[in-house]
Structures are given as C-alpha cells and as structure tokens.
Amino acid sequence: MTVYRIDGEGVGGIADLFAAFNREFMRDEDWQMGESLDALDDVLHRLEGETRGGDPAVVIWEAHRHSREALGYEETQRWLLRKLAHPSAYDEARIMSDLDDLRSGTGRTYFHRVIAVFADHPLVDLQLR
C-alpha cells in the first residue's frame, strides 16, 4: 500500500494545494500537474492503476480543516472570477451559475470540489485528519 501525506497547514490557496499534490503524487515524475481538477482526476486514475493486490493508495490529508477554510468561499469566488475573465475557454453560463450558487450559500467550495474528485476514485482512500 502506498501512503501519501498532504500537509493542510501549508495550504493557503489553490496554488499551495497543487504544490502539495505535486510533491506527493508526482515525486517520481519528470513533470508536474497544473492547477486543474481535471489534472487531479487524471493523476488519481494513475494512482488507482498503480494499486497492487486491491490495496488502495492512501492519501492522508493532515489539518484538512485549515485547507477547507483556505479553499472556501473567498478562494472559490476568485477561482470562478478568473475563469470568467476567459469566456472563450470556459462555459460562461455554467461559471455564472456556479458563482450565483456560491454566493447564495448553496454552491460547492473548491475544497468540496476536490473532495468530490477523490470520491470518484474508490481505490484512493482519502483520510481527512
């Protein structure tokens, strides 16, 4: 079983989160994943493919509460607004809807979006501590 550790205390935003993911998930690679939930999904597929004997890869996310706060409303709003600055690259209507949901309190934060990506990978055991 492979164990990865994410230091949530060091996460102050999306860039810090992906730096932590790259340190752990990409340590044997000669490339780094970008700050993208799609890239995280791809890397988690790779981790699932590397599991042996049905033992899941284990990701221990220490101090996840700190990360949850850092990746909360403000950071999520900044992320969505950055996407809106490039309307030809993203579905503007969907981003506006996500932003409206966030502002009304019903939308998912970036932290919750990351958790959802992990949830799609049953052979990666995410442990929030």
User: pLDDT for 43-64, tens place per residue?
Assistant: 999 999 888 667 889 999 999 9
The pair of structure tokens assigned to 93 is 């209507």
Q: What is the pLDDT of residue 55?
A: 80
The pair of structure tokens assigned to 127 is 């442990």
**Nearest CA to 122 among 73, 54, 62?**
54
> Model confidence over 111-122: pLDDT tens digits?
999 999 999 999
What mean pLDDT comes out for the span 25-39? 95
- Burial class of residue 7 (count of CB atoms within 10 Å of its CB; 0-12, 13-18, 19+): middle
Kindly list the strands in the beta sheet with 57-62, ordered across the sheet, starting from the edge strand earlier in the chain: 3-7, 57-62, 124-128
pLDDT at 1 over 90: no
**Nearest CA to 63 among 17, 117, 22, 9?**
9
Q: What is the mean pLDDT of the chain?
A: 95
pLDDT above 90 as % of the chain: 90
Instruction: Please give the model's pTM, rounded to 2 decimal places.
Output: 0.94
What mean pLDDT comes out for the span 69-76? 98
Q: What is the pLDDT of residue 90?
A: 93
**Nearest CA to 76 among 59, 93, 101?**
101
How far is CA 87 from each of CA 36, 97, 116, rounded to the nearest angstrom?
17, 14, 25
The pair of structure tokens assigned to 38 is 């799609």
